[in-house]
């Protein structure tokens, strides 16, 4: 499928009902501080842009938190600039918090022609939300997602793994319960700690210990597995790319988190099949899974010995796909094992991180 070309407009903390403890959009996106600066940067971007984008997207703040007048001004000015350059009106995508996506705001976004809403869910655990400074409940998230679906929006959800109080069980519940509500797509941002944020202060003072790579790999495995199960498209798993690297003071410390997570889950599935069919069996999987399998091998290094894994010499990769009697792993399709089992199995060893100490 062709990747969408999205024209991004950063509104820098505009509309944010709170300052979340981990967030410094100004640092993460290197964005300008005022709306006028945002329009200047849009004009610059438009001058360089070749071809027609598929969509305009507002990121970096809480779009539904803007007051009515600002919201209309931002939409009309950006629509005008886009029409001037491309001669067309493009579909609009916005990001917003469950707190500000009230019934009346949802209706207004609809009226103003917004087609896609990305909801910053973050977590479905009350304690994690509270400690992150997000002032809504998991119940509210459900109401908002159902309301958006009912109004016919394309709905995206965003999660953060590893915030204070987060555990594998909580993360597993978060993705499972949200994906069961059938959003269209999802993003996962493993936590980075940025200097100058409240979480950065806690980290530097030794009051917060960020999770290690294994936590984020496992979270990514669960995120991908449940997404597959509920047919939710994974738009992204990865860190924000900071404009000022020097301000990032803690990060997961592992590359290719998405592939490692998927690979970990693949090893888990294969080990279950190996248990069923015996160690003499050859497991045949499509060639397209080769990279994921290798990343899974690398991911296993982060876990204690004895965790489910399959030796690569017991696995055959085939372009012809599913000729083996032992295993067929369609690219898209039902998973063979409930992803929740992965959480149960692994969380015995992956202990609770992210607690304030
Ligand atoms: S996480 Fe979202 S709502 Fe929270 S401060 Fe950052 S941009 Fe605003």
What phi and psi values does residue 160 have, to the nearest 5 degrees? -125, 130
Task: Give the residue from 254, 277, 302 where a domain finishes.
Answer: 254
Q: What pLDDT, in 10s, does the model give residues 45-104?
A: 999 999 999 999 998 889 999 998 999 989 999 999 999 999 999 999 999 999 999 999
Chain centroid to Cα 111, Å, comes to 28
Query: What's 136's domain CATH number?
Result: 3.20.20.70
In this prediction, residue 324 carries a pLDDT of 35
| Token pair belonging to 278 | 């015996």
1 within domain boundaries: no
Question: pTM of this prediction?
Answer: 0.88
Q: Are residues 230 and 278 in the same domain?
A: no
- Can you list the positions of beta strands (E) in 165-324? 185-190, 193-194, 233-237, 248-250, 283-286, 315-318
Task: Give the residue from 225, 254, 283 where a domain finishes.
Answer: 254
Q: Are residues 266 and 284 in the same domain?
A: yes
Q: Are residues 195 and 330 in the same domain?
A: no
Q: Are residues 57 and 193 in the same domain?
A: yes
Ligand 1 center to 163 CA (angstroms): 14
The better pLDDT of the pair 335, 254 is held by 254
The residues with which 188 forms a beta bridge, in sequence order, are 159, 237
Q: What number is the average pLDDT over the span 249-269? A: 90
Write the DSSP string, 14-54: TT-SS--TT--HHHHH---SSHHHHHHHHHHHHHH--S--S
Average pLDDT, whole number, for the chain?
A: 84
Per-residue pLDDT band at 13 (split at 50, 70, 90): confident
Number of domains making up the chain: 2
Ligand 1 center to 229 CA (angstroms): 29
Ligand 1 center to 277 CA (angstroms): 49
Ligand 1 center to 36 CA (angstroms): 20
Q: Are residues 81 and 146 in the same domain?
A: yes
Residue nearest to atom 7 of ligand 1 (CA): 61
- Whether residue 283 is predicted with pLDDT greater than 80 in this model: the reply is no
25 within domain boundaries: yes
Atom of ligand 1 nearest to the CA of 122: 1
Atom of ligand 1 nearest to the CA of 19: 5
74 within domain boundaries: yes
297 within domain boundaries: yes
Atom of ligand 1 nearest to the CA of 16: 8
Q: Are residues 122 and 32 in the same domain?
A: yes
Ligand 1 center to 260 CA (angstroms): 27
Task: Give the residue from 254, 277, 309 where a domain finishes.
Answer: 254
Q: Are residues 245 and 280 in the same domain?
A: no
331 within domain boundaries: yes
Closest residue by Cα to residue 186 from 116, 233, 218: 233
Closest residue by Cα to residue 259 from 288, 304, 227, 293: 293
325 within domain boundaries: yes
Q: Are residues 249 and 272 in the same domain?
A: no
Classified as helix, coil or strand, 324 is: coil
Q: Are residues 180 and 214 in the same domain?
A: yes
Please list every protein residue whose CB sits less than 6 Å from any atom of ligand 1. Answer: 13, 16, 19-20, 23, 25, 61-62, 97, 120
Q: 253: number of CA atoms within 13 Å, CB side? A: 10
**Owning domain of residue 311:** 261-354
Ligand 1 center to 159 CA (angstroms): 12
54 by Cβ neighbours in 10 Å (0-12 / 13-18 / 19+) ranks as: middle
Q: Are residues 115 and 234 in the same domain?
A: yes
Q: Are residues 164 and 298 in the same domain?
A: no
- If one counts every other C-beta atom within 10 angstroms of the C-beta of residue 89, the result is 12
Residue nearest to atom 2 of ligand 1 (CA): 61
Q: Are residues 271 and 305 in the same domain?
A: yes
């Amino acid at each position: 499928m062709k990747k969408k070309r999205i024209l991004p407009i950063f509104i820098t903390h505009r509309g944010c009902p709170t300052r979340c403890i981990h967030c410094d959009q100004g640092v993460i996106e290197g964005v300008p501080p005022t709306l006028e600066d945002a329009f200047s940067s849009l004009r610059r971007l438009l001058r360089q842009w070749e071809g027609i984008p598929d969509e305009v997207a507002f990121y970096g703040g809480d779009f539904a938190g803007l007051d009515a007048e600002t919201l209309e001004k931002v939409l009309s000015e950006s629509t005008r600039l886009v029409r001037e350059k491309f001669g067309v009106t493009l579909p609009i995508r916005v990001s917003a918090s469950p707190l500000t996506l009230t019934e009346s705001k949802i209706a207004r976004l609809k009226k103003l022609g917004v087609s896609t809403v990305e909801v910053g869910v973050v977590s479905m655990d009350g304690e994690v939300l509270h400690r992150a400074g997000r002032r809504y409940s998991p119940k509210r998230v459900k109401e908002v997602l159902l309301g958006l679906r009912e109004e016919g929006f394309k709905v995206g959800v965003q999660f953060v793994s590893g915030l204070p109080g987060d555990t594998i069980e909580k993360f597993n519940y978060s993705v499972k319960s949200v994906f069961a509500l059938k959003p269209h797509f999802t993003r996962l941002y493993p936590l980075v700690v940025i200097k100058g944020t409240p979480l950065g202060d806690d980290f530097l003072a030794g009051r917060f210990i960020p999770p290690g790579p294994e936590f984020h790999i496992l979270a990514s495995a669960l995120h991908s597995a449940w997404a597959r199960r509920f047919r939710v498209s994974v738009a992204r798993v990865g860190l924000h790319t900071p404009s000022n690297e020097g301000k990032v003071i803690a990060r997961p410390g592992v590359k290719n988190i998405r592939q490692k997570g998927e690979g970990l889950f693949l090893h888990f599935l294969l080990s279950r099949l190996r248990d069923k069919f015996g160690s003499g069996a050859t497991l045949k999987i499509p060639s397209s899974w080769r990279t994921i399998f290798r990343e899974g091998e690398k991911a296993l290094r982060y876990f204690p010995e004895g965790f489910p894994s399959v030796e690569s010499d017991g696995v055959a990769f085939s372009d012809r796909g599913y000729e083996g009697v032992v295993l067929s792993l369609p690219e898209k399709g039902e998973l063979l094992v409930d992803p929740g089992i992965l959480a149960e199995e692994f969380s015995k060893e992956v202990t609770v991180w992210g607690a304030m100490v």
